[in-house]
Amino acid sequence: MSNKLATLIAVTNLKGGVGKSTISSILASKFNAKEDKKTCVFNIAKGQSAETINEVETIDYSSLLSIDRTISASEALASIMENYDYIFVDTAGDLSEELIEIISYIDYFIVPFDRGKRVFEDTITYLKSIFTSGIIEDKEEHNICLIFNKYNNKADVDEVKDKYINELNLIALENSVKFNIGFSKLSNSDVVETMEDKKASIDTLSATNAVAYRIFNKKIDDLYLDVKTHLESVIGEK
């Protein structure tokens, strides 16, 4: 990918149901609308179409494979890199062959999770497998934004944040790597289901003036600003 132009942002976690596809869609839509930047979602979860839930432009690797069965994930990604400013890579619920193939090109990792001891353990195990196993070549510094998704109690946020960051700092110390860690949150809301059912962004829904949509849009704006600010602090502005 010598002509790489787009910033590659992987939204990933081993644990299913933590909101990877939703977060990909929400953030891609916000970057597209607020930054006036060309943005898309590149879905590498084979057999799972992301087009049905995204208002923002979405490219499914599975669809490209149906046209050319020989195209690799890295080749597919390279073919669109010059067309976008930001590409959000929506990943499968495992350390897939496709993710391993492109992981060294990723600029920024977004890791959504929800509450629970099992989620914490699985997420930390997954991050160890990514950043300490040698599958990412020629990088000792990694940019990560943790997103506490679908939380119900504000009182939990600081405790959960400290728990994850402390564990990542320990991993970094034990494995001689560096993590630039950001953090954000998004509360649980039925609006997400409406967005997916209607295949509409929160900005589109908010235009209807429904109070619930406008309240949740403010929370998504806060999420977007957290991610944007941290992204620019570690990578720079586009």
Q: Say which CATH number the domain at 104 has.
A: 3.40.50.300
Direct distance between the N- and C-terminal alpha carbons of the chain, in angstroms, rounded to an integer: 18
What pLDDT sits at residue 124? 94
Here the tokens at position 176 are 């001689």
* Token code pair at residue 136: 């990412």
pLDDT tens digits along 36-56: 789 999 999 866 655 555 568
Is 66 a domain residue? yes
10 Å CB burial of residue 102 (0-12, 13-18, 19+) is buried
- Residue 59, number of CB atoms within 10 A of its CB: 21
Amino acid code (one letter) for 196? E
At 71 the pLDDT is: 94
pLDDT at 147: 96
How do residues 197-224 score in pLDDT, each as one tens digit?
A: 777 777 777 887 688 888 888 999 999 9
Asked whether residue 198 is assigned to any structural domain, the reply reads yes
Which pLDDT belongs to residue 54? 56
| Whole-angstrom distance, CA of residue 215 vs CA of residue 205 | 11
Query: Cα–Cα distance between 153 and 193 in angstroms, integer?
Result: 20
Phi-psi region of 118 (alpha: psi -120 to 50; beta: other; left: phi over 0): alpha
pLDDT value, residue 25: 87
CA distance 166 to 70: 43
Residues 147 and 18: beta-carbon distance below 8 Å: no
Tokens of 27: 């953030």
With H, G, I as helix, E, B as strand and everything else as coil, classify residue 131. Answer: helix
Residue 146 lies in a domain: yes
Structurally, the chain folds into a number of domains equal to 1
* Selection from 45, 43, 61, 22 nearest residue 200 by Cα: 22
Residue stretches of the chain with pLDDT short of 50: none
Look at residue 153 and tell me if it is in a domain. yes
Distance CA 89, CA 74 (A): 12
Residue 65 belongs to what domain range? 7-234
In a domain, 1, yes or no: no
**166, part of any domain:** yes
CB 165 within 8 A of CB 120: no
* 96 assigned to some structural domain: yes
**Residue 2 domain-assigned?**
no
| Alpha helices, H only, 91-210 | 97-102, 117-131, 157-175, 191-198, 202-206
Name the pTM for this structure. Answer: 0.91
